[in-house]
Amino acid sequence: MRLQAYESSKSYKHKAKIYHDKKILNRNFQPGQQVFLFNSMLRLFPGKLKSKWSGPFSIKSVRSYRAIELEDPASGRTWLVNGQRLKHYLGGEVERFTTSTHLKEP
């Protein structure tokens, strides 16, 4: 009975791995492309108040092991990020909302 349970769990893990591997998108980035950056450290306003995607940024260089050097077109600042945190920017105008709240003293 134990041997049969082991074989069934092994086949289940194999099928689950095949299913999840089919869902992985292969993203190839080239220098000069526009991308969005996923902000995983968003803690100031939890929930859905602020978008987790920022950008668009341009790719300056692609390095080994999916390390990508980004450049901010507005400030010219560059930094390295993991390629899994990026997604392609397909064009169009990006709306940037700013909200300010003025507090009055009681």
Contacts of 88 (CB under 8 A, 6+ apart): 27, 29, 33, 34, 35, 36
- Check pLDDT > 80 for residue 18: yes
CA 34 to chain centre: 13
Q: List the domains of the chain with CATH numbers.
A: 29-92 (2.30.30.140)
The pair of structure tokens assigned to 32 is 């000069």
Tens of pLDDT, residues 26-45: 789 999 999 999 887 656 65
pTM attached to this predicted model: 0.59
Region of poorest pLDDT, from 2-6, 60-64, 74-78, 86-90? 2-6
How far apart CA 70 and CA 96 sit, in angstroms, is 20
Give strand pairing partners of 1. none
Tokens in use for 48? 């859905």
